[in-house]
Amino acid sequence: MPQLDTSTWLITIISMLLALFIFFQIKISNHPFPSNLTPKDMALTLHKTPWEDKWTKIYLPLSLPLH
């Protein structure tokens, strides 16, 4: 039964990690980051939801009339 040759695994893993690192560095460098880093005013805004103004009733399946 032949033995598994693991002598090239280290160089394969290191080169894969290096290629992934370079790939992500290129992807990040092409991303446009904002140049103005001043903090924005985070005022709280209240959003009205449609169910706040009306009363809704939950119908159970057993309470529905039979057809």
Residue boundaries of the structural domains of the chain: 7-31
Burial bucket for residue 10 (CB in 10 Å: 0-12, 13-18, 19+): exposed
Residue 56 reports pLDDT greater than 60 = no
For 58-67, the pLDDT digits (tens) are: 655 665 566 5
Res 49: pLDDT: 67
Stated pTM of the model: 0.45
Q: Does residue 2 carry a pLDDT above 90?
A: no
Q: Tens digit of pLDDT for each residue in 7-49?
A: 899 999 999 999 999 999 999 998 887 777 777 777 777 767 6
